[in-house]
Structure 1
Amino acid sequence: MIKHISVLPGDGIGPEVTNEACRLLETVGAEFGHTFSFTFAHIGGAAIDAAGTPLPEETIAACRASDAVLLGAVGAPQYDRGPASGRPEAGLLGLRKALGVFANLRPITVFPALAKASPLKDEILKNVDFLIVRELTGGLYFGTPRERIETPEGLEVIDTLRYTEHEIERIIRLGYETARTRGRRLTSVDKANVLESSRVWRETVQRLQAEYPDVELNHLLVDNAAMQIVKNPGQFDVMVTENLFGDILSDEGAMITGSIGMLPSASLGNGGPGVYEPVHGSAPDIAGKGVANPLATFLSVALMLRQSLGMAAEADAVERAVNHVLTDGLRTADIADIGQSALGTAEMGDAVRDRLRAAAVKQ
């Protein structure tokens, strides 16, 4: 099987972790009889430097022609000032719009070997395995008008939270459908006591419930959801929510797993290429030092193999290899205990690939 992957290394540690992920895909191909071809393109700050825009048309064209997109990270401190349209993050938002990926899936799983790295107590971490389904192309991040206005009283700023019923319904349906493949429990998160958009959100969730009688439904206000993720994360199966809430809650969920460097994500639409990226961001403070944790990117590769490429066995093999190296006590600096030796990015990549090859030989 031949699959074409667009690789957008991006900024900061993005090139380091995507390089290791491409090597991982080559190992998967060698062990399972596949061929992966890679097309590299710019996004974010790297694209601004190369082409004067955070999302060149050439990048969009390459992504549309691929089977899946592997993204490293966007964000560079030298672009933190100036209009939003010229910042690296505009490239990411534009890519989501261009590819029509409206749903972001972020699995929150605690690896037993990393339980001590979590800020939560061991007893709270038991049975933590839930999935956040976040709406990705609407809400405050995309609503207009978005502007600054000089008034006699000073600066006035406007952000607009806008959703259509269609946008709300399609993400909620995905939440229900995803819950059916897991524990059949769906938690819808909103702010219906304050926001009109959330009241429409809740009405839509309740209207669709009749089509999914086999899925247990629960509503939570976003502030309570944030508290419950820390208090009792094991209660959740699938959580569906809008763009801003999902962005914040998924990062909170990442930290209970022990490190944001362990959290993968998948951004999916209606039949086009999905976008797969680690959640940890560009981490410019450690860029170029060879110490970044590649495991979130490896787990994003596993999501890619399963969701976009139809390679479930290969995805399982990658996830098992990651779990095995952690069980063996191998760590990068972000997940190492005090005084424990840490592997660099390439060393951790080699360890996972070696474990993957060894498991394939045994089979």
Structure 2
Amino acid sequence: MKPYNIRLLPGDGIGPEIIAQARRVLDAVGERFGRTFFAEESLIGGAAIDATGDPLPQATIDACVGADAVLLGAVGGPKWDDDPTIRPERGLLGIRKAMGLFANVRPAKLFPQLRGACYLREDIVERGIDVMVVRELTGGIYFGEPRGESVEHGERVGYNTMVYRESEIRRIAEVAFTAARTRSGRVCSVDKANVLDVSRVWRDVVTETAKHYPDVELSHMYVDNAAMQLVRDPSQFDVIVTGNLFGDILSDEASVITGSIGMLPSASLGAEGPGLYEPIHGSAPDIAGQDMANPLATILSVAMMLRLTLGLTEEADAIEQAVSEVLTAGYRTGDIMEEGKTLVGCTEMGTHVVNAFLRAGA
């Protein structure tokens, strides 16, 4: 079988701890399914600043671009807050740009075993929460020009420009429609077309693109309404596609309503080449090195990586099933702990997932 080159970017805070558990799961996939993964580490973020003075060394870029897939832990922490010109987060933005990653795919799914952790009413939870937010990652107001600050009539003025080209909208819409075909076949495009010219272009291009996916149902929603509907009834959504700014906000909202941010993976994808996979939580420097982190979001990111980039669907399903079995058995890290469950640390949680995964293949 083909060997796979996986580049690991542990990063900062709890990053090295959760990536260590992801590596164990990859080893278990190799043992059970006869796959070979060459998993080597590179520097990014604060760790890279400490070692090289650069949050994204060229060696890291070269290794990631040449890999089959990239798995990231987390970047950032108060240690590097004093110098705004060389922030660890620049490493994350830089690697996305270097790899040509324009689509952030973030599923927000509530495991039934964690219903008690959900912030929503029980009657809403009963309808189910399984939303995928597809966010455009390299355009919009975060990157549009002109941008900056000036002084007008004696007062400071800040300005940014929201810009989207047809090609940028079309390619992110195609990602969303393709994803919907593997799910419930519904896409909701979120914009602000009632007041923004750029959103009217967005809506027109998404509608045109939908004609090539007649098997997928398309709807449109203004972003303010979408934010309300996500907490009112998330079950009405399957795939949400939206721009960079709106996607930044809505993907965080979709994730937090599950009550388990430590459980949610994500993927950043380009037109070709390797994808970058990471948990949505941060570096959590307050618990770093204490074996308290929840590795499940990173382990589920491995499953996403196997499915979306490497095409190993059976292996991905097996990882997700192992996570579900461990939760059913009552094991919990501190962030998802409930009364009557068994509290475990990062390493022990990884051990339970690996054992469940290998037992199923015995």
Query: What is the TM-score normalised by the length of structure 2?
Result: 0.95
The 5 A counterparts of 1:8-47 are 8-47=9-48
8 A Cα contact 2:173 2:206, kept in partner: yes
Report the counterpart of residue 50 of structure 2 in structure 1.
Answer: 49
Q: Deviations over 1:36-78 (max 9, x none)?
A: 1122111111111111121111110000111000000112223
8 A Cα contact 1:39 1:62, kept in partner: no
Match status 1:232 vs 2:222:
no
Task: Kindly report the root-mean-square deviation, in angstroms, between the aligned alpha carbons of the 2 structures.
Answer: 1.6
Structure 1 window deviating more from structure 2 (308-317 vs 205-214): it is 205-214
Match status 1:174 vs 2:179:
no
**In 1, Cα distance between equivalents of 2:25 and 2:182:** 27
Superposition deviation, residue 340 in structure 1 = 4.7
Report the counterpart of residue 89 of structure 1 in structure 2.
Answer: 89
Report the counterpart of residue 69 of structure 2 in structure 1.
Answer: 68
**In 1, Cα distance between equivalents of 2:25 and 2:168:** 35
5+ residue gaps, structure 2: none
**In 2, Cα distance between equivalents of 1:111 and 1:169:** 32
Residues 82 and 199 of structure 1: CA distance in aligned 2, closer, same or farther (over 3 Å): farther
**In 2, Cα distance between equivalents of 1:289 and 1:223:** 40
The 5 A counterparts of 1:170-249 are 170-249=171-250
8 A Cα contact 2:264 2:280, kept in partner: yes
Q: Deviations over 1:218-269 (max 9, x none)?
A: 1111111111111101111111011121121111111222211111001111
Residues 136 and 177 of structure 1: CA distance in aligned 2, closer, same or farther (over 3 Å): same
Q: Could you tell me which amino acid in structure 1 is paired with residue 149 of structure 2? A: R
Superposition deviation, residue 23 in structure 1 = 1.1
Q: Could you tell me which amino acid in structure 2 is paired with residue 60 of structure 1? A: I
**In 1, Cα distance between equivalents of 2:264 and 2:223:** 21
**In 2, Cα distance between equivalents of 1:35 and 1:231:** 45
**In 2, Cα distance between equivalents of 1:266 and 1:42:** 19
Q: Could you tell me which amino acid in structure 2 is paired with residue 345 of structure 1? A: C
Any idea what SS the aligned residue of 2:104 has? strand
User: What is the total number of aligned residue pairs between the two structures?
Assistant: 360
Any idea what SS the aligned residue of 1:305 has? helix
8 A Cα contact 1:254 1:262, kept in partner: no
**In 1, Cα distance between equivalents of 2:318 and 2:10:** 24
Q: Deviations over 1:156-177 (max 9, x none)?
A: 3233322221111110122122
The 5 A counterparts of 1:92-107 are 92-107=92-107
Q: Deviations over 1:299-358 (max 9, x none)?
A: 000001111112111100000000010111110000012575421000100000010011
Report the counterpart of residue 130 of structure 2 in structure 1.
Answer: 129
8 A Cα contact 1:163 1:197, kept in partner: yes
The 5 A counterparts of 1:300-339 are 300-338=301-339
**In 2, Cα distance between equivalents of 1:183 and 1:29:** 31
Q: Could you tell me which amino acid in structure 2 is paired with residue 281 of structure 1? A: G
Report the counterpart of residue 108 of structure 2 in structure 1.
Answer: 108
Superposition deviation, residue 81 in structure 1 = 4.8
Q: Could you tell me which amino acid in structure 1 is paired with residue 242 of structure 2? A: T
**In 2, Cα distance between equivalents of 1:152 and 1:41:** 49
8 A Cα contact 2:131 2:254, kept in partner: no
**In 2, Cα distance between equivalents of 1:11 and 1:191:** 36
Residues 124 and 26 of structure 1: CA distance in aligned 2, closer, same or farther (over 3 Å): same
The 5 A counterparts of 1:282-297 are 282-297=283-298
Q: Could you tell me which amino acid in structure 2 is paired with residue 132 of structure 1? A: V
Q: Could you tell me which amino acid in structure 2 is paired with residue 119 of structure 1? A: Y
Q: Deviations over 1:174-224 (max 9, x none)?
A: 212222222111100111122222111111112223222322111111111
Residue identity over aligned pairs, in percent, reads 57
Any idea what SS the aligned residue of 2:343 has? coil
Q: Could you tell me which amino acid in structure 1 is paired with residue 109 of structure 2? A: T
Any idea what SS the aligned residue of 1:102 has? strand
**In 2, Cα distance between equivalents of 1:186 and 1:285:** 38
8 A Cα contact 1:251 1:260, kept in partner: no
Structure 1 window deviating more from structure 2 (149-158 vs 120-129): it is 149-158
Structure 1 window deviating more from structure 2 (137-146 vs 248-257): it is 137-146
Query: What is the TM-score normalised by the length of structure 1?
Result: 0.95
Q: Could you tell me which amino acid in structure 1 is paired with residue 107 of structure 2? A: P
Any idea what SS the aligned residue of 1:200 has? helix
**In 2, Cα distance between equivalents of 1:115 and 1:72:** 26
Q: Could you tell me which amino acid in structure 1 is paired with residue 24 of structure 2? A: R
